[in-house]
Amino acid sequence: MLERGRLRARFGQGPRDLAAAQALRGRAFGTHGPDRDSHDAECIHLLVEDTAGDVLVACCRLMLFDSGAELHRSYSAQFYDLGALSDHPGPLAEIGRFCLRPGCADPDILRIAWGALTLLVDETGVEMLFGCSSFAGTETDRYLDTFAMLRERHLAPKRWLPRVKAPDVFRFAARLRRKPDVKRAMLRMPPLLRSYLAMGGWVSDHAVVDRHMNTLHVFTGVEIAAIPPARKRLLRAVAG
């Protein structure tokens, strides 16, 4: 458990916590009911609560892997060919289904969530975090500056680069040659992806068009050893 002000981050302890997370995901993702799938049973679920009203304001789930050879079991492997990452020798963790309670925009929610994730990384020896970072909607035009900036500054190293697997993708690295408007790019950048990139994260060279979830998403990875020292100090300060 981690408490900062009125916020508390903790890991779920049973069916009741899982049901609360699934209900919040359903509200955030507009699934007309709890959002659940077969991966939930294998995951650790992180809950962020507002203690003033005893309200769940954010959640995400984590699946731990001993090495890249196990990544075929991940949620992301449904959409991306992760063959290059199968050679990763150390532990990895997939972060998924991160969401905020509709109407909650307190930046401290994301900070305390990352503080709790930092504790988990330190305790488990995870060497890479990864997951799918989602953009709202499936139209690419409004995000062209963001995708252009990802292409210019944040593509995955070739040794880890995910390949195309999904039938419907936007190959932004191959198609875009424009110089990004950085201000517009950052305004359209999803907050979770912004956090990943601030830690030295990288993305796939294409976005998956997920019409079921009404999102575009890019595979995103963060190598723990590559996180800038100043960012590590901030994360550990939150983690206490």
Q: What is the mean pLDDT of the chain?
A: 95
Residue 53 has pLDDT above 90, yes or no: no
Residue 139 has pLDDT above 90, yes or no: yes
Domain of residue 50 covers: 2-239
Q: What is the mean pLDDT of residues 135-157?
A: 97
pLDDT class of 124 with cuts at 50, 70, 90: very high
Cα separation, 37 vs 190, in Å, equals: 24
Cα separation, 83 vs 81, in Å, equals: 6
Q: What is the DSSP string of 137-165?
A: SS--GGGHHHHHHHHHH-BPPTTTPPEE-
**CATH code at 185?**
3.40.630.30
Do 137 and 215 touch, CB atoms closer than 8 A? yes
Cα separation, 216 vs 18, in Å, equals: 26
Q: What is the pLDDT of residue 84?
A: 97
Cα separation, 184 vs 187, in Å, equals: 5
Q: What is the pLDDT of residue 103?
A: 87
Total of domains in the chain: 1
* Beta strand spans in the chain (E): 2-4, 7-11, 44-50, 55-65, 80-81, 92-100, 128-136, 163-164, 169-170, 202-203, 207-210, 215-223
Q: What is the pLDDT of residues 164-186, one digit of tens each?
A: 999 999 999 999 998 999 999 99
> Token digits for 27?
């509200």
Q: What is the pLDDT of residue 93?
A: 98
Q: What is the pLDDT of residues 103-122, one digit of tens each?
A: 888 889 999 999 999 999 99
